[in-house]
Structure 1
Amino acid sequence: MDENVSYPFIDTSSFDLIVVGTGLPESVIASAASAAGKSVLHLDANPFYGSHFSSLPLDSFTSFLQSQQNIPQKEYSSSIENYSQSDCVVVGLESRCLYSNFEISSHVSPESLEPSRKFSLDISGPRVLFCADPAVDLLLKSGASHHIEFKSIDASFIYTGDGRLLAVPDSRAAIFKDRSLGLTEKNQLMRFFKLVQEHFESVAADGDRKEEKRRISEEDLESPFIEFLNKQRLPPKIKSIILYAIVMADCDQDHPEISENLVKTKDGIEKLALYHSSVGRLANASGAFIYPIYGQGELPQAFCRCAAVKGALYVLRMPVTALLLDKESSHYKGVRLASGQEMFFHHLVVDPSYVVPSSSILSLTVDLQQKSAHGSSLAVVKGKVARAICVTRGSVKPDLSNLLLVFPPRSLNSKQVKSIRALQLGSNLAVCPSGLFLLYLSTVCDDAIQGKESLHAAMDALFTPVSEDNDSTSVVSKDMEGQTKPSLLWSAMYIQEMAMGSSDTISFCCMPDGNLDYCDLLKSTVELFREMYPMEELFPQTTAEKIEDDGDSLD
């Protein structure tokens, strides 16, 4: 225990659930368990909420990245000790760095980016919510929507190989107003959207023979989406918009021989339906996407507030230093805190930056050599995401503040084999000072070199760097449409592992994935809660606590 740090004393020593880390998945589980009447202790070693889903001031964000380089890769083979009672042993925790290849660049003096607190930088951006995705329903059902406000993303664009930004049509009216599409292309796109709509209407009217002819065949549903789009004779520009700006495919769908992740038709049309059902769903959102004011770090905080109202206990700046392993069952039953206190649980949920020692380490304790095989855990790396955050003067589109931009595979160069997604946010979202903009970029990648090369290519296409001698002047270059490019003032680039822990006796949450939305993350989180508490309803509502939907508005 660090003698220079004063830790609070926790009166209760036993809980139904202990959660380590206040990321979005962990916070949802803590809130759901509290709503189900469980006693919950929620811990975080950080001085802020959100863990890997946090939004931080500029200087705190820089400090966070720098601190990741100093995480020691500890070996705990000698840290197994007998517990004060005879039924447990104390097993030290390993931690691993999930961020690497940091690259921070500033083209202006530090004073130009003051005050730091005016910035709110997302660690795992870019990320938005579809207005109709399950995340919004979860916010409404849990009551977390009362603790957070959203604004609409004004428009979406797709980057073309010749440097233009084409608007993504998100409604029938938008299609016919779009000047970049010819009449034939508009009719083709409308016919395709109508086919998808009729398919879902047919599925909803199951049993009505009149609707059978409108369904997409099972054979087509199981085929690659690109083949179905080719079958509809859609032109390349329309296919690119559907695949990469609406369905949000990561990999090159036009070259199946080199793509490891082809989108199936059934998945593609479901994402298409989600996109279109999101447009116009919320009264305060004109498009398909919304973003929380003050940053995505508000999401885990909203769920933490709900949990606290239901009785969950929160302690920040409280590292967990070890686990208590029961000798008889070979199951973990408690945690040792940095304060020296020991807490006991029925369930334990941790974020993936922790690695529970494997059975080969525990076998050093002779009594556990045969019993610990199923109690081991490793962090499983499922891929990498290259992320970048840019502070700019000027917008990518001069008349818009908040926008989404997609770079399809090979739109920048032949080496770009994955989509790049970019989200620009303005000061009306309270994430940066007036006159400046934040732009987040990300791409899934096989290695750091590939990912960073792709992000650098996107940044070169969008921005003009400024020197310290000229940090307050306008930009000097223009894009293909004759518009001035925004000035790049500051940027940070890094690689994040998409790791997840694995254990039979401990539940692990996911790192932020490479998706733009929260659908997959929250789906796995809800599944984890139901595995832990199969008899409990997720966020049950009583008559007295019934949440007023207020027309689905999240204002």
Structure 2
Amino acid sequence: WQWLLVTMLSVCVHFPGLTESVIAAACSRVGQSVLHLDRRNYYAGNWASFTFNGLLSWIEEYKQKVQITESEQVWRSLIDEGEDVVPLSSVDSSISNLEVFCYARLALILLTTNTNEEHEVSEPEEEQHTSDISEPSQSQEEKDSQPISSPADPPVEVEKKITYQKLVKEGRRFNIDLVSKLMYSRGALVDLLIKSNVSRYAEFKNIGHILTCRNGKVEQVPCSRADVFASKQLTVVEKRMLMKFLTFCLDFEQHPEEYQDYTEKPFREFLKNKKLTENLQDFVLHSIAMVTQQTLTEEGLKATQHFLRCLGRYGNTPFLFPLYGLGEIPQCFCRMCAVFGGIYCLRHSVQCLVVDKASNKVKAVIDTRGQKISCSHFVVEDSYIRDEQRQSTAYRQISRAVLITDRSVLPSESDQQISLVTIPPLESSAPAVRMVELCSSSMTCMPGTYLVHLTCSSSGTAQEDLAPVVSELFHVSTIPGEEPSEVLWVMYFNMRDTSALDSSSYSLPSNVHVCTGPDGSLGSDCSIKLAESVFHHILPDEEFCPPAPNPEDIIYDGDGPQAEGPGFDESVNTEAEEEGAAHEKNPSTEPAEMDSVADTTPSSEE
């Protein structure tokens, strides 16, 4: 810290969400000195991934959230003549209406012996009878053919259902994201991961199923040519109509006469004009374009075109998901920043900004330990900005639900598929709901369970918006003696969406760059474009995230032998961890690089 007191920092970044992490990595990569602070004890902020036990701790912290009162005398003594102060908020109000419900039984272990003597029964008597009835009866010959056991034989444990104790015990197998997103294979995030070589720090899995829910039934959406012709939900006429329409969407700009009369009309009306059936309209609107009923035609066509162009790059669907959860992506950029000299401090925050009155620019920050640190730019997440520093509070809310279930919403031959499900509005005034179901091979949940994320724009609290969808798709039992619940655990919460705000929404010095939190879209293009915009505002003449050199390409100047080869690769990882870019999970010593498979179609395991 003494070094920091005498060194001019190029960029001070506060709260390492995805956008801030990308900015920090980009600045560090081109030689800028970066200090990255976070008041939390984990990386990625609202983009973080938690183990189940870690999430329970996060919930407790939320319930006990108390605003910290800063001592003004601490930083007033550090302010010189000609300087002013801009205080920051000490409490995060981006999460609200958090509710948690547990439907997993506390104990469901039935201990029996081969003599059928019951030693301990933790299930209600009614459920035991149901279990006995459901077992196939044995003939006398089958009974006689079984070996006779001694009463002294040890009891046999039969686990009939996943319990809450099991979830806690296996809690480290979970990686639960606060925000639910997927990666378009030709989206801004994937392009940046390939360009910057940051993809070497992570592994990815292709989304196997794209589904929709119609009339209470979950169906697979045919989106590629092979899926369309193999679909059993569509008639032969519908298959031809859909293929003709999708072919048109691929280069719709070349045929303006087809849609120019509908540019100011909803996309749904254009679909009707194209004589698509109600079935096909729902497929295109909700599961391919993934737009709302109010979306205009040209925007809907662009969304459909983008979906189609992403098909086939890495698999049969347009989407990828990072193993171990979405929180891996900000950590990957944090690791790159640390490799190039960035400094990271958790459980450390900034109280206020020191502004030069003459230039109206931030010249330093004062942290919670009363240290004054000089900097030329300050990057901060919106939740740290006080209301008096906002020109506008026109932010939206996102409703989120996180479920742990014991069955897939659409069981199939393989239970290791990641599925994207679109649930059209249950009522005309309700929003469409996006559901991502993760399996255990995504390294986000324990075997035998599924991690389900529900997301929609808020019209009320998260529980009001999403509980009806949970009830429609899953059996939720709260009555003793009923069939056990398929939902083991569920959490509802609302998250603030400030993506509609820009720099004019804040009354702050020009070298303070406010980044918005996660938005409600499926991809991360908004965050990546904002990161690039802020970077060019800070360093207009520098390249945004140039490729990091491969370890084997690095040659050191000096008297000693040249350092190159696989051994240096290991030192990069070690250096990144030592500099503070924590990466608690180590899935592989040689993570797959996305650019190495850019023109191939890997298997579902890859």
TM-score, normalised via structure 2 length: 0.75
Secondary structure at the counterpart of residue 464 of structure 2: helix
Partner of 1:122: 177
Pick the aligned partner of 1:502 from 499, 506, 517. Answer: 506
Partner of 1:15: 9
Assess if the C-alpha contact under 8 Å between 2:458 and 2:465 holds in 1: no
Assess if the C-alpha contact under 8 Å between 1:92 and 1:357 holds in 2: no
Partner of 1:171: 224
TM-aligned CA distance change 1:532 to 1:9, over 3 Å: closer
Give the distance between the partners of 1:275 and 1:487, measured in 2 at CA.
32
Partner of 1:247: 289
Secondary structure at the counterpart of residue 64 of structure 1: helix
Pick the aligned partner of 2:88 from 64, 87, 93. Answer: 93
Assess if the C-alpha contact under 8 Å between 1:68 and 1:97 holds in 2: no
Partner of 1:458: 469
Give the distance between the partners of 2:259 and 2:432, measured in 1 at CA.
29
- The CA deviation at 1:476 is 4.2
Residue 538 of structure 1 aligns with an amino acid whose one-letter code is F
Pick the aligned partner of 1:230 from 263, 272, 278. Answer: 272
Secondary structure at the counterpart of residue 46 of structure 2: helix
1:238-283 deviation digits (Å, cap 9, x = unpaired): 111111111222x4x1xxxxxxxx212222122112211212102x
Secondary structure at the counterpart of residue 525 of structure 1: helix
Give the distance between the partners of 1:356 and 1:325, measured in 2 at CA.
16
Give matches, 1:231-380, under 5 Å.
231-249=273-291, 251=292, 253=293, 262-282=294-314, 285-356=315-386, 358=388, 376-377=389-390, 380=393
Secondary structure at the counterpart of residue 464 of structure 1: coil
Assess if the C-alpha contact under 8 Å between 2:350 and 2:368 holds in 1: yes
Secondary structure at the counterpart of residue 244 of structure 2: helix
CA RMSD of aligned residues (A): 2.8
1:492 is the counterpart of 2:491: yes
Pick the aligned partner of 1:144 from 198, 216, 229. Answer: 198
Partner of 1:402: 418
- The CA deviation at 1:419 is 0.5
Give the distance between the partners of 1:468 and 1:309, measured in 2 at CA.
54
1:127-166 deviation digits (Å, cap 9, x = unpaired): 11111112110111111100011101110111112x1112
Partner of 2:564: none
Give matches, 1:211-222, under 5 Å.
216-222=258-264
Give the distance between the partners of 1:222 and 1:173, measured in 2 at CA.
33
- The CA deviation at 1:504 is 4.2
Give the distance between the partners of 2:259 and 2:438, measured in 1 at CA.
41
TM-aligned CA distance change 1:379 to 1:15, over 3 Å: farther
Give the distance between the partners of 2:72 and 2:339, measured in 1 at CA.
41
Residue 280 of structure 2 aligns with an amino acid whose one-letter code is I
Secondary structure at the counterpart of residue 22 of structure 1: coil
Partner of 1:442: 455
Partner of 1:517: 523
TM-aligned CA distance change 1:224 to 1:551, over 3 Å: same
TM-aligned CA distance change 1:198 to 1:277, over 3 Å: closer
The worse-fitting range, judged by mean Cα deviation, of 520-529 and 142-151 is 520-529
Give the distance between the partners of 1:67 and 1:415, measured in 2 at CA.
37
Secondary structure at the counterpart of residue 389 of structure 1: strand
Assess if the C-alpha contact under 8 Å between 2:10 and 2:34 holds in 1: yes
Secondary structure at the counterpart of residue 322 of structure 1: strand
Assess if the C-alpha contact under 8 Å between 1:390 and 1:491 holds in 2: yes
TM-aligned CA distance change 1:62 to 1:551, over 3 Å: same
Give the distance between the partners of 1:430 and 1:422, measured in 2 at CA.
18
1:29 is the counterpart of 2:23: yes
Give the distance between the partners of 2:379 and 2:518, measured in 1 at CA.
16
Secondary structure at the counterpart of residue 352 of structure 2: strand
Secondary structure at the counterpart of residue 550 of structure 1: helix
Assess if the C-alpha contact under 8 Å between 1:83 and 1:90 holds in 2: no
TM-aligned CA distance change 1:74 to 1:379, over 3 Å: farther
Partner of 1:482: none
Uncovered stretches (5+) of structure 2, i.e. residues with no partner:
107-163, 555-592
TM-aligned CA distance change 1:347 to 1:357, over 3 Å: farther
Give the distance between the partners of 2:58 and 2:319, measured in 1 at CA.
28
Paired residues in the alignment total: 490
Residue 105 of structure 1 aligns with an amino acid whose one-letter code is F
Give the distance between the partners of 2:407 and 2:10, measured in 1 at CA.
51
- The CA deviation at 1:466 is 4.9
Pick the aligned partner of 1:182 from 230, 235, 238. Answer: 235
Assess if the C-alpha contact under 8 Å between 2:440 and 2:448 holds in 1: yes
TM-score, normalised via structure 1 length: 0.82
- The CA deviation at 1:8 is 9.5
Give the distance between the partners of 1:339 and 1:76, measured in 2 at CA.
11
1:341-369 deviation digits (Å, cap 9, x = unpaired): 221211111111101474xxxxxxxxxxx
Give the distance between the partners of 2:189 and 2:101, measured in 1 at CA.
34
Give the distance between the partners of 1:353 and 1:128, measured in 2 at CA.
24
Give the distance between the partners of 1:214 and 1:263, measured in 2 at CA.
18
Pick the aligned partner of 1:429 from 412, 426, 442. Answer: 442
Secondary structure at the counterpart of residue 301 of structure 2: helix
Uncovered stretches (5+) of structure 1, i.e. residues with no partner:
1-6, 203-212, 254-261, 359-375, 478-485
Residue 423 of structure 2 aligns with an amino acid whose one-letter code is F
1:202-226 deviation digits (Å, cap 9, x = unpaired): 3xxxxxxxxxx57645444454312
Secondary structure at the counterpart of residue 239 of structure 1: helix
Partner of 1:206: none
Partner of 2:102: 106
Assess if the C-alpha contact under 8 Å between 2:252 and 2:301 holds in 1: no
Secondary structure at the counterpart of residue 508 of structure 1: strand
Secondary structure at the counterpart of residue 353 of structure 1: helix
- The CA deviation at 1:423 is 0.6
Residue 406 of structure 2 aligns with an amino acid whose one-letter code is R
Assess if the C-alpha contact under 8 Å between 1:384 and 1:447 holds in 2: no
1:65 is the counterpart of 2:48: no
Partner of 1:483: none
- The CA deviation at 1:469 is 7.0
Percent pairwise identity: 28
Give the distance between the partners of 1:116 and 1:392, measured in 2 at CA.
14
- The CA deviation at 1:287 is 1.6
TM-aligned CA distance change 1:50 to 1:58, over 3 Å: same
Assess if the C-alpha contact under 8 Å between 1:407 and 1:419 holds in 2: yes
Partner of 2:138: none
- The CA deviation at 1:292 is 0.5
Partner of 2:578: none
TM-aligned CA distance change 1:317 to 1:324, over 3 Å: same
- The CA deviation at 1:521 is 2.4
TM-aligned CA distance change 1:425 to 1:343, over 3 Å: same
Secondary structure at the counterpart of residue 173 of structure 1: helix
Assess if the C-alpha contact under 8 Å between 1:34 and 1:312 holds in 2: yes
TM-aligned CA distance change 1:390 to 1:537, over 3 Å: same
1:84-126 deviation digits (Å, cap 9, x = unpaired): 432324443223411111110112233121222111110112x
- The CA deviation at 1:427 is 0.7
